[in-house]
Structure 1
Amino acid sequence: MPPTDGDLARRIALLEDRAELHELVAVYGRLIDDRDVEGIGAIYTADAVFDSTAGPVSGRDAVLDYYRGQLDRYGMTYHYPHSHTVEFTGPDTATGVVSAHAELAIGDTPFVVALRYLDSYRREDGRWKFHERRAQQLYAAPLSELSTVLQTTLRKRWPGTEPAPADLPEPLPSWQAYAASRGSAG
């Protein structure tokens, strides 16, 4: 049975929302790389939460202060999303998972980060925005260490800190169950 006009309109609206969310994720990287802090503020809700290496910060102003501090540490950056899944949780809310990479210049050192963003989106003022964004790192290392960093669980190697365990994938229940079924630690 073909969809009714109401079903078709609902399906088209969901496709439009999904496209806008994919564009939001793509625009995020460009705004970060272009150092467009005003633009970054426009894609977060007023009560936004961002959680990364320094812990969570709440409120758009605090989120922007976090970004300014981080961007002051880096030279050129290049953020690029790979895959992006979206699940709608209401007419104006959704969650998403974004797999991504970032290339950074920290002083004279080229640096690479593989990460997964766990997102919560909300429509505010007629536009989809980030309500919560949590960055989890699979690895973060100087580019010169990339050939060896994947061979260890200590894959977070930020300058001035001791190597630390990566956020993913080892803590995931699916990873742990698989490792247990194979008789390995990971």
Structure 2
Amino acid sequence: MSGLGPAGMDPTQLLLAHAEIRQLPLRYAYAQDFRDAELLLSLWAEVDEPAEYPDIDLHTVRREHERWFRKGPTVHFVGNHLIELDDAEHAHGTVYCWAQLDFGEEFVDQSILYQDRYVRQDGRWLFHHRRHLLWFGQARAENPIAQAGEDWPHSHTGRGVLPGELRRDGG
């Protein structure tokens, strides 16, 4: 990596680009966990040719999001995010993600690496495509969603409030 972006790029524009791009994986995770199709679809650039597995693009999201949303509760934790601006309209990045996925018959922890391509269209940074690379997935012996309800602050264990049960406005 050569730094934050191309030489000669305005520092303010560089910082804004990084801030806007950093929001994309966070919003992707939020949209997955809250089953927000409108948000999920809004994160992607229009592309002519559909991506091929393991890449995800707008064609993939349109085709698959309803299936993705049918599984039980999920938590996608976005960790490290390295961003490299190629020019004022194109960038690429690497995102680490820990996903906790309830498939009903099993609860799976996954460590995922996303290799992303970003493009700026109509003044907005968007995903061009994401390469979803599973490092590993492991089914848990017991599904934590099946636990009895928690009794916070008296107990630190139990099933609490899941993303689908929360209000999206933070209230």
Asked if Structure 1 and Structure 2 have the same fold, meaning a TM-score greater than 0.5 normalized by the shorter chain, the answer is yes
Give 3-state SS (helix, strand or coil) of 1:144's partner.
Answer: coil
- Structure with the bigger percentage of helix: 1
Q: Which amino acid aligns with 1:115?
A: I
Deviation (angstroms), 1:27: 1.0
Question: What CA distance in whole angstroms lies between the structure 2 residues aligned with 1:123 and 1:61?
Answer: 18
Question: CA 1:83–1:94 in 2, change beyond 3 Å: closer, same or farther?
Answer: same
Q: In the alignment, does 2:82 pair up with 1:85?
A: yes
Deviations 1:88-109 (A, max 9, x none): 1111100000011100101142
Q: Is the 8 A contact 1:51 1:135 kept in 2?
A: no
Q: Which amino acid aligns with 1:128?
A: W
Runs of 4+ displaced beyond 3 Å: 48-52, 55-58
Deviations 1:130-185 (A, max 9, x none): 0010110110121239xxxxxxxxxxxxxxxxxxxxxxxxxxxxxxxxxxxxxxxx
Which residue in the other structure is 1:157 paired with? Answer: none
Summarize the alignment of residues 61-100 of structure 1 with structure 2, pairs less than 5 Å apart: 61-72=59-70, 74-100=71-97
Q: Is the 8 A contact 2:56 2:129 kept in 1?
A: no
Which residue in the other structure is 2:35 paired with? Answer: 35
Q: Is the 8 A contact 1:116 1:135 kept in 2?
A: yes
Which residue in the other structure is 2:25 paired with? Answer: 25
Question: CA 1:8–1:93 in 2, change beyond 3 Å: closer, same or farther?
Answer: closer
Which residue in the other structure is 1:129 paired with? Answer: 126
Deviation (angstroms), 1:126: 1.0
Q: Is the 8 A contact 2:110 2:136 kept in 1?
A: yes
Q: Is the 8 A contact 2:55 2:132 kept in 1?
A: no
Give 3-state SS (helix, strand or coil) of 1:23's partner.
Answer: helix
Q: Is the 8 A contact 1:50 1:134 kept in 2?
A: no
Equivalent pairs: percent with the same residue?
A: 26
Summarize the alignment of residues 104-143 of structure 1 with structure 2, pairs less than 5 Å apart: 104-143=101-140
Q: Which amino acid aligns with 2:97?
A: A
Q: Which amino acid aligns with 1:142?
A: A
